[in-house]
Amino acid sequence: MEVRDRVAVVTGGASGIGRALCRALAAGGAGAVVVSDLDGAGAEAVAAELSGRGTKTLAVRTDVADGDDVAALVSAAADAFGPVDIFCANAGIITIGGVEVLDQDWDRIWAVNVKSHIYAARAVLPSMLERGEGYLVHTASAAGLLTQLGSAPYSVTKHAAVALAEWLSITYGDRGIRVSCLCPQGVWTGMTGAPRGGDGPASEEAPAGRRAADGSDRPSEEMVRGTAGADGMLRPEAVADLVLEAMAEERFLILPHAEVATYEQRRAGDRERWLRGMRTLQRVGLVGEVGVSNYPLARWQAAEKALGGRVLSNQVRYSLADRAPEKDLLPFAAQAGRVVIAYSPLAQGLLSGRYDRANRPANRVRAGNPLFLPENLDRAGELISVLREVADAHDATPAQIALAWVIRHPAVTAIPGASSVEQLESNVAAAEIKLSDNEYAALSTASERFRPVTGRAAVPAMIQARLRR
Ligand SMILES: NC(=O)c1ccc[n+]([C@@H]2O[C@H](COP(=O)([O-])OP(=O)(O)OC[C@H]3O[C@@H](n4cnc5c(N)ncnc54)[C@H](O)[C@@H]3O)[C@@H](O)[C@H]2O)c1
């Protein structure tokens, strides 16, 4: 089914996957999007955002655990925009624990994660069957096909949600009712630690594990790292796009983490082996630490806050030719026991001393780097000659000295590239070089004096250099 001009209702639409679904439906040209959530203000905010972009919307505060509320939601949608074509039963909760979980909590999660889907189908099916078409999208979870380590209520209710979706598809598929069942592993939402009201991080580098900050309704670190987060956390927007694709194809199972299909086959193929494997996973966990790349300090700290634990490393460009991380990343790492991983510690080979104006790199990547402009190679001359001087004193190469300088800083480790075993051995040997304070200071001063032409100022010279080649 194409969503264009269709009337769609999304529960749990105020945040996470539900909000992303609302946005994707609106972007896909839905005739109206009804945003429903227990968090009424949150639903209103999403509806306001979408109507600001020209989509017809309605915000309805609904407790999906209450059948009357769900029926009222469907009536309100139909009164405002006509019969509901698409119902996304997405709201869901997680409760940590096993059989000891209190009855009232079992009842609540059963009502929110399963009965709400029954209430929704009960409310929309009569009109859909009458019209001979309609679409039900049920958000279950990979836990509904496999399991959720550490949460019996989540595993059980999500299995039930999958079972209901399958039953609906089998029973009503020939009468024009389409059903899709969304079964992701980790998605970066309020449920897994992202701030509920705001957006997740702007990049794909959402943390792969988290510590339960409040010990309440969120999965513990082992649960996320053991199953849900093991194959990477996805952004809700990416998941919503896949839902719309599956709807266009009228496909039942939506697996944003493709690996889940293999895990499900293994489970069905050899249940004993699968159970043993899951026990091992529970025992050892998968991810010990998480790291990020190219995060400015504020974002690094924000990631830790969201994670409720440390983000151990931040991989950034750092070398004698690029010392920006010294401003705040290095002091933070040293003081907080974190690690800065310096990539390009030899500035793509500039600090090896192999290049000068007469001997510019042929390699395209290097040639496209303004550091290798003839005038910058001239400017690097002093730094290279100090590197050579220190190298001679240690019977080492300039590259080894440049590496030794980087890793002399507390909390910094380097990952230099190597294209031969010899180069690799030479890099490793650099770890043994102990620079004296004077040598360190001389290198630092020479590096401060190295002022390459970069950014916009380098553009004319880059064009000239390209034309000359
Ligand atoms: N985030 C994940 O890793 C993940 C993985 C698999 C499945 N899921 C499922 O995705 C669905 C959406 O969760 P999310 O990850 O976007 O989390 P989320 O917490 O960001 O969103 C859930 C939304 O549901 C609303 N809600 C909770 N109880 C409700 C109720 N009784 N009535 C109405 N609304 C209610 C919440 O207010 C919230 O806005 C859930 O069913 C969840 O189980 C999430």
Q: What is the 186 CA–ligand 1 centroid distance (Å)?
A: 12
What is the position in ligand 1's atom list of the atom closest to the CA of 39? 37
Q: Which range (85-89, 95-99, 174-178, 248-252) has the least confidence?
A: 95-99
**Which residues have a Cβ under 8 Å from the Cβ of 160 and sit 6 or more positions away?**
110, 113, 114, 144
pLDDT mean over 64-86: 98
28: Cβ contacts below 8 Å, ≥ 6 apart: 2, 3, 4, 244
Residue 209 clears pLDDT 70, i.e. is over it = no
Kindly state whether residue 297 falls inside one of the protein's structural domains: no
Q: Which residue, 180, 228, 247, 192, is CA-closest to 24? A: 247
**Residues 327-377: tens digit of each pLDDT:** 999 999 999 999 999 988 999 889 998 898 888 887 776 777 888 888 889
Dist. CA 369–CA 363, nearest whole Å = 10
pLDDT of residue 467: 63
Instruction: For residue 444, tell me if it sits in a domain.
Output: yes
How far apart CA 106 and CA 98 sit, in angstroms, is: 10
Q: Give me the mean pLDDT over the 5-13 stretch.
A: 98
Domain that holds residue 403: 312-468
Looking at the domain assignment, is residue 306 inside a domain? no
Residue 303 lies in a domain: no
Mean pLDDT of 59-84: 98
Asked if the structure places residue 178 within a domain, the reply is yes
- 246 plus 356 within the same structural domain: no
CA-CA distance, 362 to 371, in Å (whole number)? 14
Same domain, 331 and 246: no
| Tokens encoding 393 | 């004193």
Same domain, 358 and 280: no
pLDDT computed for residue 194 by the predictor: 62
**Tokens 């513990």 -> residue:** 220
219 lines ligand 1 (CB under 6 A): no
Residue whose CB lies within 8 A of the most ligand 1 atoms, among 191, 234, 237, 254, for a mutation test: 191
257 and 152: one domain?
A: yes
Q: Are residues 25 and 164 in the same domain?
A: yes
Tell me the backbone φ, ψ of residue 322, rounded to 5 degrees.
Answer: -150, 100
Tell me the DSSP string of 288-299. S--EEES--HHH
Q: Identify the sign of the CA torsion 40, 42, 43, 45.
A: positive
Q: Is residue 294 part of a domain?
A: no
Residue 191 CA to residue 212 CA, distance in Å, equals: 10
Based on the residue annotation, tell me whether 295 is a catalytic residue of this protein.
no
Per-residue pLDDT, averaged over 205-226, amounts to 39
The CATH number assigned to the domain holding 164 equals 3.40.50.720
Do 265 and 145 reside in the same domain of the chain? yes
Q: Is residue 272 part of a domain?
A: yes
Task: Indicate the number of domains in the chain.
Answer: 2
Spatial neighbors of 417 by CB under 8 A, at least 6 apart, are none
| Tens-place pLDDT, residues 433-447 | 999 999 999 999 999
- As beta bridge partners, residue 97 has 151
Higher-confidence residue: 389 or 202? 389
The catalytic residue among 119, 154, 172, 295 is 154
End-to-end Cα, the chain, rounded Å: 54
Tell whether 343 and 443 lie within a shared domain. Answer: yes
List the beta strands (DSSP E) in 209-328.
253-254, 291-293, 313-317
What is the pLDDT at residue 444?
Answer: 96
Looking at 266, 284, 302, the residue that finishes a domain is 284
Q: Are residues 67 and 186 in the same domain?
A: yes
How far is it, in rounded angstroms, from Cα 100 to Cα 379?
70
Same domain, residue pair 277 and 322: no
| 193 lies in the same domain as 63 | yes
Sign of the C-alpha dihedral, residues 294, 298, 304, 306?
negative
Distance of alpha carbon 440 from alpha carbon 16, whole angstroms: 49
**205 within ligand 1 shell (Cβ under 6 A):** no
What H or E segment, with its residue span, contains residue 26? helix 16-27
| 20 and 129 share one domain | yes
Segment 116-137 mean pLDDT: 98
CATH number at 323 reads 3.20.20.100
Q: What is the pLDDT of residue 256?
A: 95
CA 308 to centroid of ligand 1, rounded, Å: 19
Query: 125 CB less than 6 Å from ligand 1?
Result: no
Determine the average pLDDT of the residues in 456-468. 70
Read off the pLDDT of residues 131-180 as tens digits, 9 standing for 90 and up.
999 999 999 999 999 999 888 999 999 999 999 999 999 999 999 999 99
Same structural domain, 140 and 73? yes
Average pLDDT over residues 405-428: 91
Residue 20 Cβ < 6 Å to ligand 1: no
Comparison of pLDDT for 190 and 218, the residue scoring more: 190
| 300 part of a folded domain | no
Entry pTM: 0.64
- List, for residues 263-309, the tens digit of each pLDDT value: 999 999 999 999 998 888 877 665 556 778 888 999 899 878 876 67
Pick from 17, 218, 259 the residue to mutate for probing ligand 1's pocket: most ligand atoms within 8 Å of its CB.
17
Spacing, Cα 177 to ligand 1 middle (Å)? 24
